[in-house]
Structure 1
Amino acid sequence: MMANINLGRRLGVFYQQQFVIQTCVVRRCKASVASSQAVLKNNTTNNGRDNSTVEDVEWNNAKPFDEMPSIRVLPLLGTSWGLLPIVGAGIPVDRVLELHQLRFKELGYIWRDTIPGLPPLVSTARPEDAEKVLRAEGKFPDRPGFETLKAYRAERIDQFTSAGILAGNGEPWWNIRSKAQQPFLKTKNVNNYVPVLGQIAQEFIDRIRLIRQENNEMNPDFVNEMYRWALESVGVVGFNTRLGCLDPNLAPDSEAQKMISAANLSFTAVNELEYGLPVWKYISTPKLRRLYEAQDFFTDTALKYVKQTIEMMKHKPADSEEDPSILEEFFIRGMSVKDATVMVIDMLMAGIDTTSHTTSFLLYFLARNPEKQEKLRNEILTVVGPKGKLVTPGALNELHYLKACIKESLRLRPAAVGNARIIDKDLVLSGYRVPKGSLVVFLHQLMALMDEYFPNAQAFVPERWIKGDPLESHHHKYVVLPFGFGTRMCIGRRLAELEMWQLTTKILQNFKVEYHYEDIGCLSRIVNAPDKPLRFRFIDLD
């Protein structure tokens, strides 16, 4: 899911321009428009085009970029006026999907935007375009975003040598990614965490029983409990220790509670700083200072556990049969202390909101579709057994309907609205010439809700993902990419899935899940979040 978080950041920059316009920062807009026009001028001419990467016949037969559908482009404002109230759509910045649905209705499957401060921007609802871009990308796919974290890490040169795997690009990003991905992708490494993640899931079940009301309903702030579960789960991997986030007597000044507070503050501050007027780039604002303080705590805490792991490795017997943790694997593969520290921080930053929100949406769909919930429960009770029975790696391999439910939930409520790339070569997309340096956004959430790709697309139908089922979907495989693609694919995918499998299994072994309020949709921030309180009812099974 790391892969998709960055799209939230890019869209944050996109909407940031609305505020820039509203505050009349005209000087900055003039310079930005000139820069964007220069990209087009240099890349749409024959002299500026990279002929070695484009089929000449296809390019010559394609329509010019400026003929691609667009709303009206105004001086200084570009197309960002379309976001404003009264004169534009007036859609709130946290309802990006609604904007995409409106533009699709007005302009069709592909359109362009001219946004001050951004390269030429192309949005496409064709999976064929996503496939072409993603298959053409080089070794270091370019993703902008997380500018505040980049700035923080650039200032802390004593602690960091790069922007990390979440915010970085180019060779520095690959130096970390290449050392980290193998430990994450090895099935044996992931399976080593099955017991402890099962224990964490059981502790969360105990907490549900402790905090639920007399009518078995959760308090409106239940999403914060989901954050605690997610942080405890990702912390055991990243820190190689238990943080104690689910302790019923968790003290306000405990390290675990401070970690939760620092994580929440960081996400809130990054969201607000990068969605708003970028004053923080020029002066140190109070919100930026609070973000830096939270990141300092993250950094100090991560470094403490990294050093603790190094000491443990020094004293481990040479003939030890104990498998190394993922953090230990980083060092075995030659990762430096600084790179391991930034990797751990990125794991926490990427793993809290995404996993908690994704699991929350899954519980919502199961509550709204009791027949699907019962079908999944029957599979769990058959394969794993009743409550108290532990989940094993072998059992997880047999939970096919559980995996289908998660895939269907991710189709309807993905971690982010899509994926994006800054293309490093000229390409023809949907019959239009798109110049090198353009930012292309693949609108996966929009595509996944279209009946032409998924019949009865608004319905929760896990059977779409069951091979051989009469309802099996045969959609284009680039319509839905919830974990990204290629070398930018979410590095923690297997662990995130394991966390969701464990918790969902435990919940359905113990409870019937109900929800009796308004439909829950998406708020688009850094990642998609539930737009209503998670007032689930967890009713004990007989």
Structure 2
Amino acid sequence: MNILQVFQSVSLATIAILVFSSLFLYLLSKRKQKHLLPPSPPSLPVVGHLHHLGPLIHQSFHNLSTRYGPLIYLRLGSIPCVVVSTPELASDFLKTNDLAFGSRTQSLAIKHITYGVAFAFARSGPYWSFIKKMATVEFLGNQNLDHFLPIRSLEIQELLRTLMEKAKLQESVNLTQELFKLTNNVICQMLTGMRCLGAKSEADEVKNLVREITKIFGEFNVSDFIWFCKNIDFKGFKTRYTETHERYDALIEKIISEREIKRRRETLKEESLGRDCLDILLDILEDGKAEIKITKDHIKALILDFFIAGTDTVATAIEWTLAELIKNPNVLKEAQREIDQVIGDDRLVEESDSPKLPYMHAIIKESLRLHPPIPMVNRQSIENVTIHGYDIPAGTMLFVNTWSIGRNPEYWENPLEFNPCRFLEGSTIDVIGQNYRFLPFGTGRRMCPGIKFSMRELQVVVARLVQCFEWNVKEALNMDEQPGLAVPMAEDLVCFPSVRGNIQKMITSS
């Protein structure tokens, strides 16, 4: 957004008063400032460094880091932040000073839509620890993931059948839409037991809402950064996220109420294994002796947390991976050769086959290096810290630019080349956040709790798309990005699939 456009709806007199007041306060704060801050680009009064930023914030940060160094200080309006762009600095901030950066900043939209109690943005403490344990052990633990395996398998089969029909008719398919439908149906059934059955189904409305909320969360809002703009509804953004929240609240309230009625009518087993997330959360709500007391708002926010984490990010990761394979046909052919050799031509790839397919696993890693699901690890300091001699005040936003680190020639040979072999031949780099050159799911205590689920789904979907089809496009793929929480491709991925070998029989018989 152009800085001049920001103020179009405010009178010139009001702007003049506010600007001069802010300039006075800014100069006063500079006189009192005793912190030794990291290097910083030139800034402007009031807006700080906002004029340096474009729609793709991670790319703007990358460009600034190439000019001003791997650790820079920025003032986004009235919000202080630091940007980190090397693995060594990432370790210093996220490992050595993990407790100091134990919080995340919530935008006005995030706070409103998630009832102010979102797990993903909660400060580290008893509530956060309890929910993380519940998510990683009960809901997303290996036993429950195994229980939900038939759901994932069924939805993948539905995708393959759709693609096969398109191939028969020699029609194009919008994979962006189909992949989001797949991931939404999987997570929707795991959370609430529903799936999309038509344009007017509750699950389809959830899908539309989650996509809209994900877009909102990824958009820049001036009111979050310039203090005197907090109550100004620029371009109707506040109205938009308020109405979206109301729609989500009405829908999820209806789903919860229907489930409560069902629970009162039926006798449920004590053991939570295999039941969906809503049942697990309602058990906690109704348990008078629960370790942590939660409300319905907590349940609504947690359901939304899981929806966002399990739909757009996974679908976007699959989309980028397939796009890179289409763009690099030699890599695609090698992946098909590995699958044909290991799996054969009489069955489809299963989740359990992943350890037997090292090249496919390397493809996934290479795609996550170039296109991390979330391009930056975001934290906020909860106390004053000193790192590399620089003072980082409490309340400072931290951005670890994993997108930039993944494209840095100091750490990756030919970083813009899609080369899965860099993750073979003795490479020990994994996705679990231990190597700070490669943090697709974050690291430390606040690493994504859904990493096991995401990797299971990501690997088997990509492997089956590679095993079952050849992929053709009419024009060269546009590999640009568009703004968003998960940074999707600038244009939808539209392809012409054609069936490989004996695959048709396998798809129809499974």
Aligned residue identity for 2:337? N
**Which residue of structure 1 aligns with residue 446 of structure 2?**
488
Aligned residue identity for 1:520? M
TM-score for both structures, normalised by structure 2? 0.81
- Which of 185, 188, 192 does residue 235 from structure 1 map onto? 188
- Which of 243, 246, 260 does residue 307 from structure 1 map onto? 260
| Cα deviation digits, residues 171-217 of structure 1 (max 9, x gap) | 44444334333224522222222222011101011122334695453
- Structure 1 residue 481: Cα displacement: 1.0
Is residue 114 from structure 1 mapped to residue 75 from structure 2 by the alignment?
yes
Is residue 218 from structure 1 mapped to residue 199 from structure 2 by the alignment?
no
**Which residue of structure 1 aligns with residue 504 of structure 2?**
none
Is residue 74 from structure 1 mapped to residue 44 from structure 2 by the alignment?
yes
Is residue 397 from structure 1 mapped to residue 397 from structure 2 by the alignment?
no
1:270–1:212 Cα change, 3 Å: farther
**Which residue of structure 1 aligns with residue 152 of structure 2?**
197
- Which of 266, 269, 280 does residue 213 from structure 2 map onto? 266
**Which residue of structure 2 aligns with residue 433 of structure 1?**
391
CA contact (8 A) 1:140 1:169 kept: no
1:457–1:237 Cα change, 3 Å: same
Aligned residue identity for 2:328? N
Alignment of 1:242-391 (within 5 A): 242-243=194-195, 245=196, 250=198, 252-271=199-218, 275-277=221-223, 281=231, 286-304=239-257, 306-307=259-260, 310=263, 315-316=267-268, 323-330=274-281, 334=290, 336=294, 338=296, 339-386=298-345, 388-389=347-348, 391=350
**Which residue of structure 1 aligns with residue 89 of structure 2?**
129
Distance 2:304 2:249 in 1: 11
CA contact (8 A) 2:43 2:49 kept: yes
**Which residue of structure 1 aligns with residue 506 of structure 2?**
none
**Which residue of structure 2 aligns with residue 60 of structure 1?**
none
CA contact (8 A) 1:464 1:471 kept: no
CA contact (8 A) 1:309 1:327 kept: no
- Structure 1 residue 343: Cα displacement: 1.6
CA contact (8 A) 2:152 2:186 kept: yes
Which is worse superposed, 302-311 or 346-355?
A: 302-311
Aligned residue identity for 1:183? E
Q: Which consecutive residues of structure 1, in runs of 5 or more, have no partner in the other structure?
A: 1-14, 46-63, 84-91, 155-161
- Structure 1 residue 358: Cα displacement: 0.8
CA contact (8 A) 2:49 2:76 kept: yes
CA contact (8 A) 2:215 2:484 kept: no
SS at match of 2:76: coil
CA contact (8 A) 1:330 1:340 kept: yes
**Which residue of structure 1 aligns with residue 122 of structure 2?**
168
Q: How many residues get paired?
A: 478
CA contact (8 A) 1:463 1:469 kept: no
SS at match of 1:122: strand
Distance 1:18 1:176 in 2: 43
- Structure 1 residue 289: Cα displacement: 4.1
- Which of 93, 109, 116 does residue 148 from structure 1 map onto? 109
CA contact (8 A) 1:266 1:294 kept: no
SS at match of 2:497: strand
CA contact (8 A) 1:226 1:356 kept: yes
Is residue 536 from structure 1 mapped to residue 495 from structure 2 by the alignment?
yes
| Cα deviation digits, residues 6-54 of structure 1 (max 9, x gap) | xxxxxxxxx7978646767566667777888899888856xxxxxxxxx
CA contact (8 A) 1:269 1:291 kept: no
Q: Which consecutive residues of structure 2, in runs of 5 or more, have no partner in the other structure?
A: 285-289, 502-510
Is residue 206 from structure 1 mapped to residue 161 from structure 2 by the alignment?
yes
SS at match of 2:398: strand
**Which residue of structure 1 aligns with residue 505 of structure 2?**
none
| Cα deviation digits, residues 271-313 of structure 1 (max 9, x gap) | 55x535577846795424431233224422542465378458x
| Cα deviation digits, residues 455-497 of structure 1 (max 9, x gap) | 0111111222235269999x99212211112222112221122
1:293–1:414 Cα change, 3 Å: same
- Structure 1 residue 389: Cα displacement: 3.3
Asked which structure has the greater RCO (Cα within 8 Å, sep 6+), the reply is 1
Distance 1:37 1:177 in 2: 43
**Which residue of structure 1 aligns with residue 508 of structure 2?**
none
- Which of 440, 462, 465 does residue 507 from structure 1 map onto? 465
Alignment of 1:9-20 (within 5 A): 20=6
CA contact (8 A) 1:200 1:232 kept: yes
1:266–1:434 Cα change, 3 Å: closer
| Cα deviation digits, residues 502-534 of structure 1 (max 9, x gap) | 211221221022344233122232221101231
- Structure 1 residue 372: Cα displacement: 1.7
1:525–1:27 Cα change, 3 Å: farther
CA RMSD of aligned residues (A): 3.7
SS at match of 2:494: coil
CA contact (8 A) 2:218 2:483 kept: no
**Which residue of structure 2 aligns with residue 447 of structure 1?**
405
Distance 1:442 1:469 in 2: 23
- Structure 1 residue 541: Cα displacement: 0.4
1:384–1:196 Cα change, 3 Å: farther
CA contact (8 A) 1:111 1:122 kept: yes
1:72–1:356 Cα change, 3 Å: same
Percent identity between the aligned chains?
Answer: 19
**Which residue of structure 1 aligns with residue 63 of structure 2?**
102
Is residue 527 from structure 1 mapped to residue 497 from structure 2 by the alignment?
no
CA contact (8 A) 1:366 1:373 kept: yes
Distance 1:148 1:537 in 2: 38
TM-score for both structures, normalised by structure 1? 0.76
Distance 2:387 2:376 in 1: 17
Is residue 416 from structure 1 mapped to residue 374 from structure 2 by the alignment?
yes
CA contact (8 A) 2:105 2:397 kept: no
1:208–1:298 Cα change, 3 Å: farther
Distance 1:223 1:144 in 2: 30
CA contact (8 A) 1:122 1:439 kept: yes
SS at match of 2:482: strand
SS at match of 1:446: helix
